[in-house]
Amino acid sequence: MANFPLMSIVTTVFLYSSFNISVAVDFLTASQNLSDGNTLVSEKGFFELGFFSPGNSKNRYLGIWYKIIPISTVVWVANRENPLNNSSGILRINTTANYIVLTQNSTIVWSTKSLKQVGNPRLQLLDNGNLVLKDGNSREFLWQSFDYPTDTLLPGMKLGWDFKNGINRRLSAWKNSDDPSPGTLNMEMENHSYPEPAMWNGTQEFMRTGPWNGIRYSSKSNSGLPILVYHYVNNKNELYFSYQLINNSLIGRMVLNQSMFRREAILWSEAEKNWKVYATMPRDYCDTYNVCGAYGSCNIEDMPSCQCLKGFRPRVLEKWNLMDYTEGCVRNKPLNCSDKVGFAKFPGLKLPDTRLSWVNESMSLSECREKCLRNCSCMAFANTDIRESGSGCAIWLGDLIDIKVVLKGGQDLYVRVLASELGKELEGQEEDLDLPLFDLSAISNATDNFSNCNKLGEGGFGAVFRGRLTDGQEIAVKRLSSYSKQGANEFKNEVILIAKLQHRNLVKLLGCCIHEKERMLIYEYMPNKSLDSFIFDSAGRNLLDWSKRFNIICGIARGILYLHQDSRLRIIHRDLKPSNVLLDIDMNPKISDFGMARTFGGDQTEGNTRRVVGTYGYMAPEYAIDGQFSIKSDVFSFGILLLEIISGQKNRGFYCSDHTLNLIGHAWKLWKEGRPLELIDPSIGDSYALSEVLRCIHISLLCLQQHPEDRPIMSNVVLMLSSESALTQPKQPEFYMERDSFKVDSLLSRNESSTTNELTTTVLEAR
C-alpha cells in the first residue's frame, strides 16, 4: 500500500503565525485559522460554523448552527465529548499531521481521521449545513461532517451505513441543553437481512420503524399532505435513508430529544419566529418496542390497546387482565410440524421485528407462501415491496414481536395458524372476564323488563336503567345501543379495564351481561344521580352548600389523580363533565363512563387521534382542534368542572348581557378586573370561606391555560387544594378558537393526524 503524507483539521488554543479569518467567508485554506469569535458562513448565509457555549455552560465547542434564524439552533458539534474550557480555540488545516484540536497544553481535543495529502486543501461550509474538506473546487469530498452526525438529521443527510469506508452514520441525543455530549437515546439503521431504523435507550431497544416496503417504513401512515420525500438505498456499498423537504422554502430538521425520549421532525415558523414540532417518534404508546409481547398486536384506538392475534390467547391471563402484557400471547392449541396449517391474513400492520427474518426480493407472494409452508420454523410471511401488486418475500423464523395496527397504512402479514382456526371467530371465554356475569333474565327482572319508569338517562351509547336484584341490592344497568360501534371483544376488554380500577372516587363496576347482541354493564347504584342534576337545577343547587361542593371538587381531583398516576397504566378519561360524576348517598363524587378513555404505559402522557370524541365545552383546545390529548386534556376539563361547580353555570350556553364570552371568558374577565367573587353561585349564600373559594377559582384558571405545558398536573392540583402555598399567576385561558395562519400551519392543517407525511423513492440493489 502506498504511503501518503498526512494533513489535518486542527483547533488549537495557542497563537499561530498563519492568517486568522476576520470577515464572513465560507472556507478555510491551509494558510488560514479560525479563532473563537470568528466564524465561517455558508455562501447564501444559511449556516454558520464557529465556537459556542450551550445553555448555561461556560465550556466552548466547535459547532454548526442556523445563521438565517434568530433562535440559536446547533445542528452539529465537533468536540461534543471533549469541550474546551476557555475561548482560545483555533480551527486550522494542517498538511503534515492529523486534523486535530489542541488545548493550550497541546492535548488533542478533537480530530478527523488521517487523510492523504492534496495540493490545495479547502475546508468549506456548504449551504446544506455540511462541513466538507476537498481539494480546491473539486466536488469530491475527502471528509464531511454529514458522515458524523450528532443529534440532528438535516435534509440530505444519510442515516445508515457506508460499507466502502466503514462508516455508520447514527444519531445520538444531547445529554441536556447544557451538555452536547451523547445521551442514552440513539437512532441507527440496523444492518441485517431486512434492515430497519431503530431507536435505543442505551443497550435497550426503544422503538423501531418497521422495514421499508417500497413506499414507506411499515409503521408509517399514508394519510395527509406530503411534506417530506424519503430516499432509501440498499446495495453493496451503502444502506441508508435520507429525506428532503418538498417545499424548498421551508426550514426543517429531525432531532433526537433526550428529555422527551423521542425523535422530533421540526419546521421553522417565520410568523411565530419559533420551531414547531409537527411529527414525533414514538407517536404513541403502541410505537414503544414490544409493548404487547410475542404475538400481541397494539392498536392505539382500542382500549386496552393490546390484543392477541387471532388463534392466540394471553400467555398469563392474570397479568394480561392487570394490563401487564410483557408475557405476550401463545397459540390456543400447540402447533406441531405435522399439523395441517394455513395462513391468517392480518392487514394494516407494522411488520414484526425483522432480526430473525429471511428475504428474497425476486420471489412472488405465492412462492413466499410455499417457502414458509415448507419450513416448520416459519411463523409468518409478507411482501417486501407493496408497490403495484406486490413483490419480494420476507419470512419470519421466530416469535412475532412488536406488531402494531397502523391507521391508514401498514401492510399485510400472513401468520401461520392451524387450519381449524381459519375462518373461526374467536368469541373469547366468558371466564376470562374475571368478574361476575349476570344472566339476561336476572337483569330484565331487576329493571322490570327495562321499563321507562326505571330509565335514569339516555345517550349515544344507549340507556341507563335502575334495578334491584333479588338480594335487594340496587344497581344501575348501562344497556349499550345496538348502533354502538363496539364489538364483543372490545366490550369485554373495556369491562376488564374498568373492573381493575379500584378507588373510592371511581364508580364501581359490579359485572356485565352478554347475551347474543345484548351488552350491558352493571354498576353500583348512585341514589343521588349525577352532579349536573344538582348544580344546574334551580332546586338542586340549594342543597349544595360550599362545604359539599368543596368535598366534591377534592374527590374528583383525587379520582383523576388515580387515573393519571396511581393505576397500573395511565388512563386519560377524555370526557370529564358533571353528568359523568355520580354522587353516592353521602354526596361523595364517583367518576363514571370510561367508554372514551385511553390507556398509556410507562411514562407516556400524550397521544393523538383521528377521531375526536367527548363533549364540546369540556374539551381542551389542542384536543378539539388537533386531536392531541394528554393528561393535561383532563386537567383542562377539570378546570371547567371547577368553574361550573363554583358558579352553578354551564360553560356552553352561558349568557351575560355585558359580553358574548362563555363561562371561561367570563371568569377570566372577572379575575383580571379584580371581581372574582361575582362568579360564585348566589345559592351558596354565606356558607363559604372566602380564601378557599378564591383559591379554587385561581386553580381553575391555572388548569384552563391555553398551552398544555402551562397547566399543572393533577398531583399538584390535589396539593394546591389541600394547602395554602402560594400559586403562580394564571396565563390567559383558551376560551375562543384561534388558529395561526402562517405557512407551516397551512401545510399541516389538512392532515388528519400528527403522523409524518411523506413521498418516497427507493433504490434496491443486490448486496
Distance, in Å, from the CA atom of 507 to the CA atom of 524, rounded to the nearest integer, reads: 7
Distance, in Å, from the CA atom of 231 to the CA atom of 238, rounded to the nearest integer, reads: 12
Contact partners, residue 561, CB within 8 Å, separation at least 6: 714, 715, 717, 718
Distance, in Å, from the CA atom of 594 to the CA atom of 597, rounded to the nearest integer, reads: 5
Q: 650 and 683 in contact (C-beta within 8 Å)?
A: no
Alpha helices in 159-202 (DSSP H): none
478 is in an annotated binding site: yes
Handedness of CA 311, 315, 320, 321 (dihedral sign): positive
| Beta-bridge partners for 590 | 582
Q: 62 and 82 in contact (C-beta within 8 Å)?
A: no
Instruction: Give the 3-state secondary structure of residue 190.
Output: strand
Contact partners, residue 540, CB within 8 Å, separation at least 6: 533, 534
What's the grid cell of residue 767? 448486496
Backbone angles phi, psi at 346, to 5 degrees: -120, 105
Distance, in Å, from the CA atom of 631 to the CA atom of 621, rounded to the nearest integer, reads: 13
Backbone angles phi, psi at 33, to 5 degrees: -120, 155
| Beta-bridge partners for 182 | 174
What's the grid cell of residue 510? 359490579
Catalytic, 448? Answer no
Q: 12 and 20 in contact (C-beta within 8 Å)?
A: no
Residue 234 has what DSSP assignment? Answer: E
Residue 373 has what DSSP assignment? Answer: H
- Which of the residues 26, 575, 634, 681 is marked catalytic? 575
What's the grid cell of residue 690? 372566602
Cell 348502533, residue located: 483
Distance, in Å, from the CA atom of 112 to the CA atom of 116, rounded to the nearest integer, reads: 12
Instruction: Give the 3-state secondary structure of residue 642.
Output: helix
Cell 340507556, residue located: 463
Instruction: Specify the amino acid at residue 205.
Output: E
User: Checking DSSP bridges between strand 19-20 and strand 32-35, what pairing results, if any?
Assistant: parallel
Q: Where are the beta strands (DSSP E) in 567-614?
A: 570-572, 581-583, 589-591, 598-600, 606-608
Helix axis angle, 631-647 relative to 663-672, nearest 10°?
80
Q: 640 and 704 in contact (C-beta within 8 Å)?
A: yes
What's the grid cell of residue 613? 370524541
Cα 613 to Cα 530, 630, 652, distances in angstroms:
21, 14, 17
CB-side neighbour CA atoms (13 Å) of 139 = 0
Q: Burial-class residue 690 by CB neighbours within 10 Å (0-12, 13-18, 19+).
A: exposed
Instruction: Give the 3-state secondary structure of residue 493.
Output: helix
Backbone angles phi, psi at 442, to 5 degrees: -65, -40
Q: Where are the beta strands (DSSP E) in 6-55?
A: 6-12, 19-20, 27-29, 32-35, 40-41, 47-52
Instruction: Specify the amino acid at residue 345.
Output: K
Backbone angles phi, psi at 540, to 5 degrees: -65, -35
Helix (H) or strand (E) holding 691: helix 690-703
What's the grid cell of residue 585? 348517598
Cα 573 to Cα 506, 520, 596, 753, distances in angstroms:
12, 20, 7, 20
CB-side neighbour CA atoms (13 Å) of 737 = 9
What's the grid cell of residue 635? 386537567
Contact partners, residue 180, CB within 8 Å, separation at least 6: 54, 61, 63, 74, 77, 80, 150, 151, 174
Residues annotated within a binding site for ATP: 478
Q: Binding site, residues?
A: 478
Catalytic residues: 575
